[in-house]
Amino acid sequence: MQLKKSILLFLSIFSITVIAVGQNLRVQSKDTVNGKPSWDAYLYFKMKLNGVFDISGGLQGQETFNIHNIDIWGTDDTPNLWMDLHQSQLRLYGAKEVGNHTAVGYFEGDFWGGNNHFRLRMAYINYHFFQFGQDWSFFGDKEIWPNVFDWDGPPSGVWRRNPGLMFFPINNNRWRLDVGFEHTQAQISFVDDLDSTFQKASGNPTPESIVAIKKMGNFGHIRLSGLLRFLHYKENNQMGYVPAYGFSLSGFLKTHKEKVNPIQFQLVAGTGIASYLVSFDGAQYDAIPNGYGDINTLPAAGGWVSYEHWFGKMWHGNIVLGSTIFKSFELSDYYVPAADLEVSEGSVDLKYIYALINLMVDPFKDFTVGIEYNIGQKQNVYKGKFNGSDQNDELIKDRIAQRISFGLFYNF
């Protein structure tokens, strides 16, 4: 606890020092190659105060508005206040002129790891027509992100960081083509009493294959990507897999001749891609045994759209809407503990709706402060034959969560 307080005090003092000095921690070589410094490097820190006030809905104690974690069976609506700086980021950039191209090395981390430890976010090398290392998955679109304080964001956003190798043989001011591979682990729900012949694989020997095409112009950009992956498991100690795939359409659309007042959006659909969606990584929703001797991938579809409006040079606000749906196949049987419900020959549908509105002000360059209202609904739909009945039935359970988010961003 004392160490944590010391770190926060140091960060506070350091931020004041940077304000007073008014300069970035950047160095460049005096000699040039092709009109550029032969090397260039900077250290960059982004401080983020993450403040939340839970109004209702069972997300108390959650640092982000992750609607997958809404406790639909709970009744606790106790107001809760939370503040932290764990999402503050440290970034290191270095570039060298090699031949006729620039080699870039990039490293980024934050303090959002377990017990507030430092966590690696990105580390990669980019040169000429390829990139190697860990970055945002290029199944998603790293150039879009709604300007919000909630850093989980819309539940259907494709914001996963993976190690991988990407090639961009076409890369100009009109078109870009990305092809390559990434590596993740399959997230399959293994229920022993449903089908004990299936087990978790110790590793995933097959990388994900991704291809994306992007069109750019004065309007902004539109990007279409496709993903193919193989989810591995063990059946009676023998390796097996099920194929999974997904598609994503995203864009940044200008509504003004300058890069202000943008509309951003992303639509995603597929099967076995839940671990790529921001709220569901770790939920084991990629696939599940059906109880009839097979493993099936879970279909998923969703999307989000945002609009940011600038009211002047300092004031701006954002509106974001999003939704995600999972529809399961038929399961031989499953159990709902909170309702003490045995279901046979049934299915489970999961539905999520997300919205926010915020107001921000930039009193000076690289400093933003503001407030945000978040609302989301989680709904589970259970279908099948309940507690030994011969008739099909349906149980719908949902809950709405509401939160006020507040905070600041300070880049220095």
3-class DSSP state for residue 314?
coil
Task: Locate 315 and state its tokens.
Answer: 């004031």
The pair of three-digit structure tokens given for residue 187, joined into one six-digit string: 């997230």
How far apart (Å, rounded) are the C-alpha atoms in residues 409 and 392?
A: 52
Q: Which residue type does 21 have?
A: V
3-state class (DSSP) for residue 174: coil
Q: Which CATH number fits domain 25-411: 3.40.640.10, 2.40.160.10, 3.30.9.10, 2.30.110.10?
A: 2.40.160.10
Query: Where along the chain do its domains lie?
Result: 25-411
Q: What is the pLDDT of residue 114?
A: 80
Q: How many CB atoms lie within 10 A of CB 17?
A: 10
CA distance 50 to 258: 30
Average pLDDT over residues 360-377: 96
CA nearest to 345, candidates 387, 286, 401: 387
Q: How far apart are CA 274 and CA 107, in angstroms?
A: 27
Q: What count of other Cβ atoms lies within 10 Å of the Cβ of residue 106?
A: 18
For the CA atoms of 253, 369, 26, 87, what is the dihedral angle to 10 degrees? -90
Q: What is the pLDDT of residue 26?
A: 86
How much is the pLDDT for 19? 28
- Give the C-alpha separation, 276 to 282, whole Å: 10
In this prediction, residue 3 carries a pLDDT of 44
Mean pLDDT of the chain: 90
pLDDT given for residue 12 in this prediction? 38
pLDDT by residue (tens digit) across 371-386? 999 999 999 999 999 9
Q: How confident is the model at residue 5 (pLDDT cuts 50, 70, 90)?
A: very low
pLDDT attached to residue 20: 27
The pair phi, psi for residue 259, each rounded to 5°, is -85, 60
Q: pLDDT digits over 89-135, tens only?
A: 999 999 999 988 999 999 999 999 888 899 999 999 999 999 999 99
Percent of the chain with pLDDT over 90: 74
According to DSSP, residue 278 is labeled T
**pLDDT band at residue 25 under the 50/70/90 scheme:** confident
Residue 264 clears pLDDT 80, i.e. is over it: yes
Q: Six-digit token pair at 319?
A: 């509106």
| Confidence band for 370, pLDDT divided at 50, 70 and 90 | very high
Q: What is the mean pLDDT of residues 186-202?
A: 72
Predicted local confidence at residue 36, as pLDDT = 87
Model pLDDT, residue 53:
97
* pLDDT tens sequence across 303-346: 999 999 999 999 999 999 999 999 988 999 899 999 999 999 99
